[in-house]
Amino acid sequence: MLFPTFTFLIFFVIVFVLNWMTRQKPVLWKIVILAASLVFYGWWNWRFVFLLVTSITINWFCAKKMRDESVKLENFLVRRWMQTAVIANLSLLGVYKYYDFFVLEISNRLKQVGFDMGLPLLDLTLPIGISFFTFQAISYVIDVGREDIEPLSLLDFAVYLSFFPQLVAGPIVRASEMAPQMATRSDPRYLQSAAAYRLILGGLFKKVVISSYLADVIVQDVFANPASYSSLDIIIGVYAYAIQIYADFSGYTDIAIGVALLLGFRFPQNFDSPYRAKSLQDFWHRWHITLSAWLRDYLYIPLGGNRGTSRRLYINLMLTMILGGLWHGNKGTFLVWGLIHGLALVLERIISERFNESQIGTRFSSRIWSLIRWMITFHVVCLAWIFFRAPSVGDALSMLGGLFSFRFGVELVTSTLLLVILGAIGMQFLSKEVREAFQAKANGVSAPNQAVLFALGLVFIDWLGPDGVAPFIYFQF
């Protein structure tokens, strides 16, 4: 079930009414939300509901056993149950996401040396959102094992893991953020409707209008056949894709956060103007923030983080980003995407350790130095996006070849396209004060007028957008 559809609108209106009718009766409310979430997830393929229920059961059971053992002070058994849960989660993810890839690779290598094992392919359909709810499940069992949180009841955990606004594409919400909100009996009189409407309309505009426009006008054509276009078309196509994936993904999470807010839940921020970053480290503090925090807390720090030697730190950074790339899929393009970010992060560390940035900056005015840092960061990110978007590493290299072929001429670039790209980048530099002032004015509008403006906004977005809605990019992960 896609957010920008009439089907979801009807679904959400029903859930919204039931949510606030039952919120003062905790058990009934949890049953209603769990049922709604399963319907939402099963709308694509009802068989996937069994996978979600399996994940809920395994992780809840392992977390319960961990706490049972911790009461007996059997730390060894606690670790074993934690490892069991993590392995089970990664196994489910691995079978659906990577099994066929590795079987094909192994079969091809064996054939090269004269063996044909005939290894079976499962040809499984990738369940929507499996990476997101798997990461949430892993964070839960690890947090329980570390005694950072108390285990949830089976019903509470089922609601947490399946909660439909963030189920299929994030943000990655932790149990420590969700559980306290489930325990409160929110009052609809204090609903933050203005903020929710702003997030939903902004997310829809980014997805339905901006992302769709850029994909149709230039991105699809340039990435499909870079040899047919000039260097200028290609570079603008790369910039356009950088904006498209931001508008698509941040648009989805904005809608998710807004929908959750209408149900009385506050989700963590997932994007914070990432294209204004002046370093790769800053970029990852702004892009897909909940994934960045997950990788930091459950991968980078357990690997050793910045403890130990500089060499160990560099290895930890590289491993984290490579695994972050492979989380997106089994293609070599995602591996290269992770490698580019890992190498850039390591290079930043080396430069900061060997050179004093303030001394480098004194050779330029502060504004010029900030501009240089921003341009370098933005173009490293765009370089990585080429591999992320391209069907294969070879196609990505063809894009780079076309980019540096210095073929002249313009076929796809228009003034409207440039205006959209520049406007989207410019919006990243709006100050926090301006955004807060706008939200304050929105909060001052009466509830009936908010509803009218929201409806008008939906009509306007529908008028600007194309017929039909393309699937969100991150649904495939």
134-190 residue pLDDT tens: 999 999 999 998 888 999 999 999 999 999 998 887 799 999 999 999 988 877 777
Q: What is the pLDDT of residue 62?
A: 92
Among the listed residues 319, 312, 281, the one whose alpha carbon sits nearest the alpha carbon of residue 298:
319
* pLDDT, tens only, 81-114: 888 999 999 888 888 777 766 666 666 666 666 6
- Position 56 scores a pLDDT of 95
| Sign of the dihedral through C-alpha 277, 282, 283, 289 | negative
**Residue-level pLDDT at 79:** 85
Report whether 66 contacts 141 (CB < 8 A). Answer: yes
What is the average pLDDT across 18-25? 92
Q: pLDDT confidence of 441, banded at 50, 70, 90? A: confident
Return the top range by mean pLDDT from 89-93, 162-166, 191-195, 305-309: 162-166
| Segment among 110-114, 246-250, 286-290 with least mean pLDDT | 110-114
Q: Which of 74-83, 284-293, 360-369 has the lowest mean pLDDT?
A: 360-369
Mean pLDDT of the chain: 87
C-alpha dist (Å) from residue 49 to 39, 154, 212, 244, 421 = 8, 16, 30, 30, 39
Structure tokens at 240: 């356009």
| Whether pLDDT at 476 is above 80 | no
Q: Is the pLDDT of residue 206 over 70?
A: yes
What pLDDT, on a 0 to 100 scale, did the predictor assign at position 192?
83
Task: Tell me the C-alpha distance between 137 and 169, whole Å.
Answer: 14
Could you give the C-alpha distances from 43 to 37, 96, 203, 360, in angstroms and in order? Answer: 10, 19, 22, 56
- Compute CA distances 362 → 276, 350, 352, 368, whole Å: 22, 19, 15, 10
Looking at the annotation, which residues are catalytic? Answer: 328
